[in-house]
A = this chain, B = another copy of it.
Amino acid sequence: MRAYVTVMLKTTVLDPQGKTIHGALKKMGYKGVGAVRQGKFFELALDGGLDKAAAQAEVERIAKEVLTNPVIEEFSYRIED
């Protein structure tokens, strides 16, 4: 089983990395991009011993307590067999 966790800055928080990439894309002539935001992506390989509900609870705890700074970031995740 694998879990995929995406951590993004909250939309109310300024994202200078994304702004820089957006500026670079514009300068390089890429059209059609209105905004860019950058986040982090984590791929967790889960041991087979966990059932789906336990895996979900574990991944949620890990995302909340380790991977995300709750003051400025928010996370989403999905679990795949």
Contact = CB atoms under 8 A, between A and B. Distances in A.
A13 interface: no
B43 A31 contact: no
Given A36-B44, A39-B41, A30 B58 contact: yes
B42 A21 contact: yes
Nearest to A62: B30
A12 B40 CA distance: 20
Contacts of A49: 32
A69 interface: no
B36 A38 contact: no
Interface of A: 6-8, 18, 21, 24-25, 28, 30-47, 49-50, 54-55, 58, 61-62, 66-67
